[in-house]
Amino acid sequence: MSLRPRVIPVLLLQNGGLVKTYKFKQPKYVGDPINAVKIFNEKEVDELLLLDISCSINQSEPDYNLIHEIVSEAFMPIGYGGGIKTVDQAKKIFDLGIEKIILNTSLQTNPDLVSQISSIYGSSSVVANIDYKKNIFGKHKVFFKSGTIKSEFNPLDWALKLQDAGSGEIILNNIDKEGTYSGYDIELLSNLNNKIKVPVVISGGASSLEDFKNAIHAGASGMAAGSMFIYKRPHNAVLINYPSFNDFKNLYN
C-alpha cells in the first residue's frame, strides 16, 4: 500500500444490498455490492470500507456469507464494520480475509472491546468509527446505532479514549454532512490531528478533488466518500466512479 493519503470508497450495506443514505437517513437501494466491488477492482482503488448499517439497527450479527463473497471478489484491502460485539465475531471476520475491523456502536457499552481485539490482532487492525453531529447548542456530540442514539461524548475526548484503548486508526464521520456534497469538516479534523497520534480518516461531505486536497493539508491519513463514488451529479444517477491516476498526481502535488 502507498504511504500517500488514501482515497477510500465507502459501501453501505443493508439487508444484503448496496444502499446510500442522506445524513444517515432515507436509505436508497443503489445496486449489488458485488458488482460495485468488481468495478472498483478495475479502477484500482486504495481500499474499501464496508459498513453494514442493518446490523446495528437490527442488533444482528455480521452477514458472514456476504462478507466472504465480497472479499472473494476484491483485489484491495477491506475494512468492515457492523454488528461486531465480541472477539469471536472479529476472529470470524478476520478469517474471511478482512484487513481491518471497524467498531462503533458496540463501544458505547463496551469500549474495552478495542483493547481485547487489538491485543490479539494488533492496533493497526482495529479502527474506531466516530459518528457525530452538532446538538441544538452547536456542540459536537458522538452518536451510536447509525446516528439514532446520542451520547454525551464529544468527538475529541472519545477519540483520545479509543486511541488509549488500542485503536490504530480513527474514522471521523460528520452525520450532518453525509450525502450533502458540502465538503469535509476540516476544522474538527485539524483539531483532532493536533491531539491524537493515530491516523485519521475523514468522512462525510466529499464532493471534489479539492475536498481531498483540503483534508490532506489538514493532516488526514485517508479521505472516505460514498455519494461521490456512487452517484453522478447533478441528478444523482448511479454510476460507480473513482479518480484516475492523473487526478491523483495533481492531488498530491
Cα 2 from Cα 130, distance rounded (Å): 25
From residue 65, how far is each of 103, 138, 192, 223 by CA, in Å? Answer: 20, 42, 36, 28
In a 10 Å sphere around its CB, with 0-12 CB exposed, 13-18 middle and 19+ buried, how is residue 137 labelled?
exposed
Query: Which of 46, 52, 63, 131 is labelled catalytic?
Result: 131
- The residues with which 48 forms a beta bridge, in sequence order, are 78
Cα 160 from Cα 41, distance rounded (Å): 34
Residues 6+ apart with CB under 8 A from 138: none
Q: What is the DSSP letter of 195?
A: T
Separation of first and last alpha carbons in the chain: 19
Is 166:182 a contact under the CB 8 Å cutoff? Answer: no
Residues 6+ apart with CB under 8 A from 89: 61, 62, 83
Q: What is the DSSP letter of 193?
A: H
Cα 80 from Cα 202, distance rounded (Å): 16
Query: Is 131 among the catalytic positions?
Result: yes
- The residues with which 143 forms a beta bridge, in sequence order, are 131, 150
Query: Could you tell me the three cell numbers for 28?
Result: 436508497
Catalytic residues: 131
